[in-house]
Amino acid sequence: MNLNIETTELETYYDIKVAGELDVYTAPELLEVLQPLRQKGTHDIRLNIEDVSYMDSTGLGLFVGTLKELNKHGHELYVLGANSRIERLFDITGLKDLMHVNEGTGIE
């Protein structure tokens, strides 16, 4: 399955909408988009995963790497629209305590 990614740069954050399955096969596509944005470190990143139907540990790892890179620059990662199954992955792994998952909007 392909991953559809739409990126919009706004004044204080990047709004990235992801649709499809986020797994070991498709994560490199999202990494290709996220890598330059997170290294730049000038904006928060708001990831809308409302249309992500499946995510494995590769997706979680990608989010952790993004969070670490953003935090180096004093910025935040917001993961929004996670369905209950995906939100549970964040909860079970303890990642929900480290990043903004389905909380706030990332818009100040």
Structure tokens at 1: 């399955």
pLDDT of residue 6: 97
Contact 98, 5 (CB under 8 A): no
- Tens-level pLDDT at each residue, the chain (108 residues): 689 999 999 999 999 999 999 999 999 999 999 999 988 888 999 999 999 999 999 999 999 999 999 999 999 999 999 999 999 999 999 998 888 998 765 554
Vertex 74 angle, CA 71 and 78, to 5°:
65
Report field, pTM of the whole predicted structure over 0.75: yes
Q: Which fold has domain 3-101?
A: Transcription Regulator spoIIAA (3.30.750)
